[in-house]
Amino acid sequence: MTTAPHLAVHREIVELLRQVTGEDETWAAAVTPDTRVDTDLFIDSLELVELSVRLRQAYGVDLTAYVAGLELPELIELTVGDLAGLVP
Protein backbone atom coordinates (compact mmCIF):
# COMPACT_ATOMS: atom_id res chain seq x y z
CA MET A 1 0.00 0.00 0.00
CA THR A 2 1.33 3.43 -0.95
CA THR A 3 0.86 6.10 1.68
CA ALA A 4 0.12 9.78 1.14
CA PRO A 5 3.68 10.87 2.08
CA HIS A 6 5.13 8.40 -0.43
CA LEU A 7 2.79 9.70 -3.13
CA ALA A 8 3.76 13.28 -2.33
CA VAL A 9 7.48 12.49 -2.61
CA HIS A 10 6.86 10.60 -5.86
CA ARG A 11 5.03 13.61 -7.32
CA GLU A 12 7.84 15.93 -6.23
CA ILE A 13 10.49 13.70 -7.82
CA VAL A 14 8.47 13.51 -11.03
CA GLU A 15 8.19 17.30 -11.06
CA LEU A 16 11.96 17.62 -10.67
CA LEU A 17 12.43 15.14 -13.52
CA ARG A 18 9.96 17.11 -15.66
CA GLN A 19 11.85 20.32 -14.98
CA VAL A 20 15.28 18.92 -15.86
CA THR A 21 14.02 17.20 -19.02
CA GLY A 22 11.77 20.03 -20.21
CA GLU A 23 8.91 17.59 -20.68
CA ASP A 24 5.25 18.49 -20.22
CA GLU A 25 2.53 17.50 -17.76
CA THR A 26 1.31 14.66 -19.99
CA TRP A 27 4.76 13.11 -19.87
CA ALA A 28 4.88 13.55 -16.09
CA ALA A 29 1.48 11.90 -15.64
CA ALA A 30 2.81 8.71 -17.24
CA VAL A 31 5.78 8.40 -14.85
CA THR A 32 5.22 5.78 -12.14
CA PRO A 33 7.42 4.58 -9.28
CA ASP A 34 8.42 1.63 -11.49
CA THR A 35 9.53 3.85 -14.38
CA ARG A 36 13.25 3.33 -15.01
CA VAL A 37 15.30 6.51 -15.14
CA ASP A 38 17.67 5.29 -17.85
CA THR A 39 15.80 2.86 -20.06
CA ASP A 40 12.29 4.35 -19.84
CA LEU A 41 12.94 8.07 -19.44
CA PHE A 42 16.28 8.18 -21.29
CA ILE A 43 17.72 10.71 -18.83
CA ASP A 44 21.09 11.80 -20.16
CA SER A 45 24.16 12.59 -18.07
CA LEU A 46 23.60 16.36 -18.04
CA GLU A 47 20.00 15.90 -16.92
CA LEU A 48 21.18 13.50 -14.22
CA VAL A 49 23.65 16.11 -12.96
CA GLU A 50 20.91 18.75 -12.89
CA LEU A 51 18.59 16.34 -11.07
CA SER A 52 21.36 15.67 -8.57
CA VAL A 53 21.76 19.39 -7.91
CA ARG A 54 18.02 19.84 -7.42
CA LEU A 55 17.71 16.81 -5.13
CA ARG A 56 20.56 18.11 -3.02
CA GLN A 57 18.97 21.58 -2.79
CA ALA A 58 15.48 20.29 -2.03
CA TYR A 59 16.22 17.29 0.19
CA GLY A 60 19.92 17.13 0.97
CA VAL A 61 20.14 13.92 -1.10
CA ASP A 62 23.52 13.17 -2.69
CA LEU A 63 22.40 11.44 -5.87
CA THR A 64 25.88 11.66 -7.37
CA ALA A 65 27.39 9.62 -4.54
CA TYR A 66 24.51 7.16 -4.64
CA VAL A 67 24.82 6.59 -8.40
CA ALA A 68 28.62 6.29 -8.13
CA GLY A 69 28.12 3.33 -5.81
CA LEU A 70 25.91 1.43 -8.25
CA GLU A 71 27.05 -1.30 -10.59
CA LEU A 72 26.01 -0.86 -14.24
CA PRO A 73 23.03 -3.27 -14.04
CA GLU A 74 21.78 -1.44 -10.93
CA LEU A 75 22.14 1.90 -12.67
CA ILE A 76 20.19 0.67 -15.68
CA GLU A 77 17.40 -0.58 -13.40
CA LEU A 78 17.24 2.58 -11.23
CA THR A 79 13.59 3.63 -10.92
CA VAL A 80 11.75 6.79 -9.98
CA GLY A 81 10.64 4.89 -6.88
CA ASP A 82 14.29 4.30 -5.99
CA LEU A 83 14.91 8.05 -6.27
CA ALA A 84 11.93 8.78 -4.05
CA GLY A 85 13.26 6.24 -1.54
CA LEU A 86 16.40 8.34 -1.11
CA VAL A 87 14.38 11.23 0.29
CA PRO A 88 14.47 11.21 4.11
Tell me what pLDDT residue 7 has: 86
Tell me what pLDDT residue 6 has: 80
pTM, to two decimals = 0.90
DSSP-derived 3-state class of residue 36: strand
Task: With residue 39 as reference, give the H or E element that holds it.
Answer: none
Tell me what pLDDT residue 4 has: 64
Tell me what pLDDT residue 2 has: 57
Residues in the chain with pLDDT < 50?
1
CA separation, residue 34 to residues 40, 44, 58, 84 (Å): 10, 18, 22, 11
